[in-house]
């Protein structure tokens, strides 16, 4: 009788846990679909719901929790709530070092810190990523790109150019290669304009107007460049989310055929 009761208890808890995993998986899958469709609030709600489940240290749930934090970071990044994105990326890095998304999260944190103008923090994180994952042919060029952006914001143009050139030399077909070429053209134009302005022997009203127009033009070019970069980054995020969803569907189909 006692053995039977033990069996019943074990069966009950096993069944409850399996049911819980099924619910979490459904929330996670729906969240990815909402993200792919651009329904960010619904995706956010589902991901937060995953984080409210107990037993988060059990391996089966732990994987979903780590991915929930990761994708919450993605949601907040797309919403441009960079502080919340940074918090969720950091949770993954602090609590889930064994998960496969760890390295990608390290990159995402560095990039987001730079976009949020926390330049020195972002530079440190991306340099750490490059040091520990030098063979990541997908994210190393992206890391070079954002390091270039960070040094450009810091006014260290030569260091920015050196990172841009690394992309063109080692990853000429990467996602950001075209953008880097355009950035280098802009930087080259800025240098030429600055040289022309510095060679003006004396200042007249006409000189002042010319200089002002050139500076305004350069500011507009830089602002346009920032907008293009933001759109490219968001497009990249959505493509990654779509690939994650498609890969998961493919894996599930493979498993169903076994």
- Residues 114-156 have pLDDT tens digits of 999 999 999 999 999 999 999 888 889 889 999 998 998 898 9
CA angle 134, 136, 142 (to 5 degrees): 95
Instruction: Calculate what percentage of the chain has a pLDDT beyond 90.
Output: 35
32 pLDDT more than 60 = yes
What is the residue extent of each domain of the chain?
1-75
| 56-81 confidence digits (pLDDT tens) | 778 778 889 999 999 999 999 988 89
9 pLDDT more than 50 = no
CA–CA dist 210, 215 (Å, integer): 9
Range from 80-94, 170-184, 187-201 that averages highest in pLDDT? 80-94
Q: Is the dihedral of CA 63, 239, 242, 252 positive or negative?
A: negative
Alpha-carbon distances, residue 182 vs 148, 161, 164, 229 (angstroms): 13, 12, 10, 11
């Amino acid at each position: 009788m006692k053995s039977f009761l033990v069996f019943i208890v074990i069966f009950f808890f096993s069944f409850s846990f399996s049911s819980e995993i099924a619910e979490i998986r459904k929330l996670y899958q729906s969240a990815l679909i909402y993200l792919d469709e651009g329904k960010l609030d619904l995706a956010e709600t589902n991901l937060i719901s995953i984080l409210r489940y107990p037993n988060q240290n059990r391996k089966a749930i732990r994987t979903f929790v780590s991915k929930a934090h990761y994708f919450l970071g993605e949601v907040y990044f797309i919403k441009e709530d960079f502080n919340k994105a940074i918090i969720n990326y950091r949770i993954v890095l602090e609590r889930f070092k064994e998960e496969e998304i760890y390295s990608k999260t390290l990159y995402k944190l560095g990039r987001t810190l730079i976009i949020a103008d926390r330049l020195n923090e972002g530079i440190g994180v991306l340099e750490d990523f490059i040091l520990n994952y030098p063979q990541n042919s997908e994210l190393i060029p992206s890391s070079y790109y954002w390091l270039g952006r960070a040094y450009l914001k810091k006014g260290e143009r030569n260091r920015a150019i050196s990172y841009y050139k690394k992309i063109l030399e080692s990853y000429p077909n990467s996602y950001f290669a075209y953008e880097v070429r355009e950035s280098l053209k802009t930087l080259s134009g800025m240098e030429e304009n600055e040289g022309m302005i510095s060679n003006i022997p004396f200042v007249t009203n006409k000189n002042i107007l010319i200089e002002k127009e050139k500076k305004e033009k350069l500011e507009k070019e830089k602002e346009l460049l920032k907008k293009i970069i933001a759109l490219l980054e968001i497009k990249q995020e959505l493509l990654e989310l779509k690939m994650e969803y498609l890969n998961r569907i493919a894996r599930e189909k493979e498993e169903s055929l076994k």
